[in-house]
């Protein structure tokens, strides 16, 4: 680590994440990231290492390191306003548990996190004042991070308010001056748990409301900490939005299904499955498809980035993937039902319809029988002569 | 009340005896990169953090790579440990943060790893520093 | 509440897995049981002659015997016998012995049986697809078959072919994203289910009834059929 200069990025921000205490907007142009680092005694090798770790963080190949270095040399620090709505703070917990302090602290410190009401010391009016100040100082340039869903414009706003301001009003007000919106977590990205059936609070996702600003979804319940910081790092480094999938998720992290990157995939291909949580297959680490793994339809980076500083991840610990990064995952069938099993009770529909069909068929058959019978009874012998007379 | 030891739970070691088959493909990727380095002089880096390794895969790869003659540590923004593998020109570069936690693990296929070389600008700075020292003397 | 109008691939999958699946099952069960019950209720005309053999034994024997192709049929249409048998068996194996299908049946009916390893089902699926394609080509090239074919024949060929094809594509993850691939597979299977009771596909069930009645009639007369 560089010399613990009082103004050094690493020195100023020690884990867990701490907010900058006062607004730092100066009239003169801000120094670039490269300048900040060098001013703080970070050597060129240190910078190279920073870039290498950033490449890993952004899920970019190491061959991109020179490009990252060039971009970071001139990158300016963006301001970030973080709004938390109907959420459980799991996403913030995930973010503050990111375990590579060197890199992520540098990035988060380089990013000026001007408002995060869960993490900041200020509360109520004072906190709202800080938000307005940050908005005014960085009009049109700040990144708005949202975690949690929010009651839609037609829902009762009383389900979630901050300092007496409804979530909807606060989002629409703050989004006006934002350069881009990053929806962190499945709630912000897709509605998540609050939106799950029957959705009492009328919860909607950020992208349902924000139509005139770019929205990036970083889904997951919670998202991988490296993915949250990686997306912010990407914005910081290249100053532009990453390539997104159909759900507006960055392809670098959400481009591949868990199934396609899963170390247990060879067992799926060979047809070797655990059938209960403690059978031979489970102990041998076979595929968890039959125990409800949603890996084939879940797009996320857990299989490579893993959790808890790379210690493990759900499938490695023997639990099927819940598909938490996918829309409506709460309502998409049982967590421990195989992917091919439909939600609800199709068996009942089948039996009811079958019984009804049998009854109808029996009735139709009986009717047909009676027709035959009456026709038989009404039968009269006819001779050829009689027929000829009728003609 | 029974003691904790009475609870019939035993820890069975991780399934390291299993081979998830991810180590050998990396080795053949290394082989290709090494051949390219010989032919064109183009170095390569492989981010092992981006590999879908199962438990034990990394250890198996490290066994396959073995260890060579050179080890080095770079102190810049936390330490970086560099080890030559049994194959000349194939390096393991482990980036650690100030708390000695790993932030990245790369394989580098190069004559000398990037982190060990003086960086662009370092030589000019060094020249200026030596000139200053000479002027002082 | 603002509903987004465009349907994502996950919406599509949940729609095909949820309400559409229930609807398809309902139409299938209702339609098929109406037809079968009607057939059973109508029964056969009463035969007043003294039986010379067992109708039941004759019926059961024919149910089984018809699995063997007689030499004459094989001689006149070897292609139909070989290719037809091949893809019919392939279709049934893929339908009933693929692990995700067994899980689906277990969840729907509460019964389960052992399944085949994925690579085996995969190979059988390829054979089934090739067999179905060959059958279509033969139908188009063979003048008599072509003359006899109706629009319905082509429709049920497509309705049968598509679930196998989409299943193969979904398994090999050739269509992306996966929810779209799986949704397409489920949708084509649902079309198959809905179309089944109202087309020649009813032979899946009625063929057995016909075989039995055939055998029973002859069995009663003391003749083998």
Return the domain boundaries, chain B.
23-136
The whole-number average pLDDT for the span A52-78 is 79
* 3-class secondary structure, A166: strand
Q: How confident is the model at residue A248 (pLDDT cuts 50, 70, 90)?
A: very high
Residues of B in contact with A50 (CB under 8 A): 77
Minimum mean pLDDT among A40-54, A218-232, B69-83: which range? A40-54
Size of interface A-C (CB pairs under 8 A): 168
Residues of A in contact with B76 (CB under 8 A): 42-43, 45-46, 49
Say if A63 is an interface residue toward chain B (CB within 8 Å): yes
Q: Enumerate the β-bridge partners of residue B107.
A: B46, B92
* A144 and A109 housed in the same domain: yes
* A37, A105 Cβ separation under 8 angstroms: no
Q: Enumerate the β-bridge partners of residue A180.
A: A143
Map chain B to HEC letters.
Answer: CCCHHHCCCCCCCCCCCCCCCCHHHHHHHHHHHHHHHHHHCCCEEEEHHHCCCCCCHHHHHHHHHCCCCCEEEEECCCEEEEEECCCCCEEEEEEECCCCCEEEEEEEECCCCHHHCCCCCHHHHHHHHHHHHHHHC
Q: How far apart are CA A114 and CA A123, in angstroms?
A: 13
Q: Of residues A84 and B19, which shows the higher confidence score?
A: A84
* A207 and A287 housed in the same domain: no
Contact flag C177-A299 (C-beta cutoff 8 Å): yes
Query: Comparing C-alpha atoms, which of A146, A115, A151 is closest to residue A213?
Result: A146
* A184 and A274 housed in the same domain: no
Q: Of residues A123 and B52, which shows the higher confidence score?
A: B52
- C-facing residues of A in 160-219 (CB < 8 A) are 202, 204, 207-209
Q: How far apart are CA A345 and CA A351, in angstroms?
A: 10
**Contact of chains C and B by CB distance (3 or more pairs under 8 angstroms):** no
- Assess if residue A151 is contained within a domain: yes
Q: How confident is the model at residue A109 (pLDDT cuts 50, 70, 90)?
A: low
Both tokens of C45, joined, read 């005309």
Single out the residue in A215, A239, A254 at which a domain terminates.
A254
Q: How far apart are CA B87 and CA B119, in angstroms?
A: 25
Interface confidence (ipTM) of the complex: 0.83
* A83 and A175 housed in the same domain: yes
Å between A324 CA and nearest CA of chain C: 13
* A235 and A126 housed in the same domain: yes
Fold entry, domain B23-136:
Ribosomal Protein S8; Chain: A, domain 1 (3.30.1370)
Taking only the tens place, the pLDDT of each residue in C98-143 is 999 999 999 888 899 999 999 999 999 999 999 999 999 999 999 9
Q: How many angstroms separate the Cα of C55 from the Cα of each of A369, A381, C219?
A: 21, 31, 5
* A236 and A330 housed in the same domain: no
Phi and psi for A142 in degrees, rounded to 5?
-80, 155
Taking only the tens place, the pLDDT of each residue in B4-62 is 567 776 656 554 556 677 788 899 999 999 999 999 999 999 998 888 888 888 888 99
Single out the residue in A203, A234, A254 at which a domain terminates.
A254
Residues of A in contact with B95 (CB under 8 A): 49, 52-53
Q: What is the DSSP string of A219-257?
A: -SSSPPHHHHHHHHHHHHHHSSPPPB-TTS-BHHHHSSB
Q: How many angstroms separate the Cα of A261 from the Cα of each of A54, A157, B59, C84?
A: 21, 42, 19, 39
Taking only the tens place, the pLDDT of each residue in A289-335 is 999 999 999 999 999 888 887 788 999 999 999 999 999 898 888 89
Say how far residue C218 (Cα) sits from the centre of its chain: 28
* A246 and A273 housed in the same domain: no
Contact flag C177-A369 (C-beta cutoff 8 Å): no
Q: Residue A285 is part of a domain; what is its CATH number? A: 4.10.480.10
* A248 and A265 housed in the same domain: no
Domain boundaries, chain C: 9-42+78-220
Instruction: Please give the DSSP secondary-structure letter assigned to residue C196.
Output: G
- Assess if residue A27 is contained within a domain: yes
- Assess if residue A365 is contained within a domain: no
pLDDT score of B13: 55
Contact flag C103-A365 (C-beta cutoff 8 Å): no
Q: How many angstroms separate the Cα of B83 from the Cα of each of A52, A98, A242, A310, B58?
A: 17, 27, 34, 21, 15
pLDDT score of A13: 31
Å between A177 CA and nearest CA of chain B: 35
Residue among A155, A246, A366 minimizing CB distance to C9: A246
C9-42+78-220 CATH pick, 2.60.120.1440, 1.20.950.20, 1.10.260.40, 1.20.58.100? 1.20.950.20
> Which residues does chain C have with pLDDT short of 50?
1-5
Rounded to the nearest integer, the mean pLDDT of chain A is 82
Taking only the tens place, the pLDDT of each residue in A57-68 is 777 888 888 888
* A250 and A261 housed in the same domain: no
- Assess if residue A380 is contained within a domain: no
Q: How far apart are CA B116 and CA B126, in angstroms?
A: 16
Say if A55 is an interface residue toward chain B (CB within 8 Å): yes
Contact flag A48-B115 (C-beta cutoff 8 Å): yes
**Highest mean pLDDT range out of A112-126, A227-241, B113-127?**
B113-127
Single out the residue in A195, A230, A254 at which a domain terminates.
A254
Please say if the pLDDT value at position A8 is more than 60: no
Contact flag C34-A341 (C-beta cutoff 8 Å): no
Residue among A53, A99, A285 minimizing CB distance to B104: A53
* A144 and A96 housed in the same domain: yes
Q: Around A327, how many Cα atoms within 13 Å sit in the side-chain half-sphere?
A: 23
Domain that holds residue A271: 256-352
Q: At what angle do helices C151-171 and C178-195 cross, to 10 degrees?
A: 150
- Assess if residue A209 is contained within a domain: yes
Residues of C in contact with A204 (CB under 8 A): 1-2
Say if B92 is an interface residue toward chain A (CB within 8 Å): no
- A-facing residues of C in 17-46 (CB < 8 A) are 17-18, 21-22, 25-43
Domain count, chain A: 2
What region, left, alpha or beta, does residue B41 occupy, with left being phi > 0 and alpha being psi -120 to 50 degrees? left
Q: Residue A116 is part of a domain; what is its CATH number? A: 3.40.50.700
Q: How far apart are CA B45 and CA B93, in angstroms?
A: 10
> Which of C30, C45, C171 best tests the A interface by mutation, with the highest count of A CBs <10 A?
C30
């Amino acid at each position: 680590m560089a010399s613990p200069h009082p103004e050094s990025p690493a020195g100023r921000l020690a884990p867990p994440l701490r907010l900058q205490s006062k607004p730092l907007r100066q009239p003169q142009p801000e120094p670039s990231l490269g300048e900040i680092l060098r001013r703080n005694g970070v050597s060129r090798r240190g910078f190279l290492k920073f870039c290498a770790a950033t490449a890993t963080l952004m899920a970019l190949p190491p061959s991109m390191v020179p490009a990252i270095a060039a971009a970071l040399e001139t990158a300016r620090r963006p301001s970030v306003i973080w709004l938390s709505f109907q959420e459980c703070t799991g996403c913030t917990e995930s973010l503050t548990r990111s375990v590579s302090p060197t890199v992520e602290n540098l990035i988060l410190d380089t990013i000026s996190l001007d408002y995060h009401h869960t993490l900041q010391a200020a509360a109520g009016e004072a906190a709202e004042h800080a938000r307005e100040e940050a908005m005014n100082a960085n009009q049109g340039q700040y990144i708005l991070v949202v975690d949690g869903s929010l009651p839609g414009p037609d829902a009762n706003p009383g389900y979630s308010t901050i300092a007496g301001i409804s979530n909807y009003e606060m989002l629409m007000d703050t989004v006006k001056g934002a350069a881009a919106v990053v929806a962190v977590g499945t709630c912000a990205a897709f509605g998540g748990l609050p939106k799950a059936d029957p959705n009492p609070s009328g919860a909607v996702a950020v992208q349902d409301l924000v139509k005139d600003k770019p929205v990036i979804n970083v889904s997951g319940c919670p998202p991988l900490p490296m993915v949250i910081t990686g997306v912010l790092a990407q914005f910081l480094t290249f100053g532009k939005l990453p390539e997104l999938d159909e759900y507006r998720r960055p392809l670098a992290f959400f481009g591949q299904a868990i199934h396609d990157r899963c170390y247990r995939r060879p067992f799926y291909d060979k047809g070797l499955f655990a059938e209960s949580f403690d059978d031979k297959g489970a102990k041998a680490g076979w595929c968890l498809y039959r125990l409800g793994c949603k890996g084939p339809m879940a797009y996320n980076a857990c299989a490579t980035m893993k959790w808890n500083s790379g210690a493990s991840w759900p499938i490695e610990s023997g639990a099927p993937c819940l598909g938490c990064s996918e829309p409506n995952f709460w309502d998409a069938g049982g967590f421990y039902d195989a992917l091919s099993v439909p939600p609800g009770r199709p068996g009942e529909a089948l039996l009811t319809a079958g019984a009804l069909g049998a009854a109808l068929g029996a009735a139709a058959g009986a009717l047909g029988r009676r027709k035959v019978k009456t026709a038989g009874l009404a039968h009269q012998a006819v001779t050829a002569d009689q027929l000829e007379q009728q003609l | 009340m029974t003691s904790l030891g009475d609870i019939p739970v035993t820890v069975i070691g991780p399934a390291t005896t299993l081979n998830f088959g991810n180590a050998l493909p990396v080795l053949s990727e290394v082989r290709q990169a090494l051949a390219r380095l010989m032919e064109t002089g183009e170095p390569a880096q492989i981010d092992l953090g981006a590999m879908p390794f199962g438990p034990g895969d990394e250890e198996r790869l490290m066994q396959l790579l073995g260890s060579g003659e050179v080890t080095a540590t770079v102190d810049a923004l936390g330490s970086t440990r560099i080890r030559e593998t049994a194959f000349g020109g194939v390096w393991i570069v482990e980036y650690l943060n100030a708390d000695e936690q790993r932030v990245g693990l790369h394989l580098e296929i190069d004559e000398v790893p990037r982190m060990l070389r003086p960086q662009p600008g370092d030589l000019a700075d060094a020249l200026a520093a030596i000139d200053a020292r000479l002027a002082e003397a | 509440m603002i509903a987004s109008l465009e349907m994502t691939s996950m919406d599509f999958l949940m729609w095909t897995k949820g309400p559409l699946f229930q609807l398809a099952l309902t139409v299938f069960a209702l339609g098929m049981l109406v037809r079968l019950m009607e057939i059973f209720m109508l029964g056969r005309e009463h035969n007043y002659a003294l039986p010379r053999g067992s109708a039941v034994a004759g019926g059961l024997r024919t149910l089984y015997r018809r699995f063997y192709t007689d030499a004459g049929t094989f001689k006149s249409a070897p292609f139909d016998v070989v290719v037809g048998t091949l893809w019919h068996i392939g279709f049934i194996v893929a339908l009933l012995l693929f692990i995700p299908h067994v899980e689906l049946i277990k969840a729907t009916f509460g019964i389960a049986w052992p399944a085949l390893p994925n690579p085996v089902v995969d190979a059988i699926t390829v054979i089934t697809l090739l067999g179905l394609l060959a059958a279509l080509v033969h139908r188009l090239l063979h003048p008599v078959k072509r003359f006899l074919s109706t629009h319905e024949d082509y429709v049920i060929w497509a309705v049968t072919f598509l679930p196998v094809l989409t299943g193969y594509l979904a398994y090999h993850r050739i269509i992306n994203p996966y929810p779209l691939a799986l949704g397409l597979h489920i949708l084509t299977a649902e079309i198959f289910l809905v179309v089944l009771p109202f087309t020649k596909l009813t032979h899946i069930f009625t063929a057995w009834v016909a075989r039995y009645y055939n055998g029973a009639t002859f069995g009663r007369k003391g003749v083998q059929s």
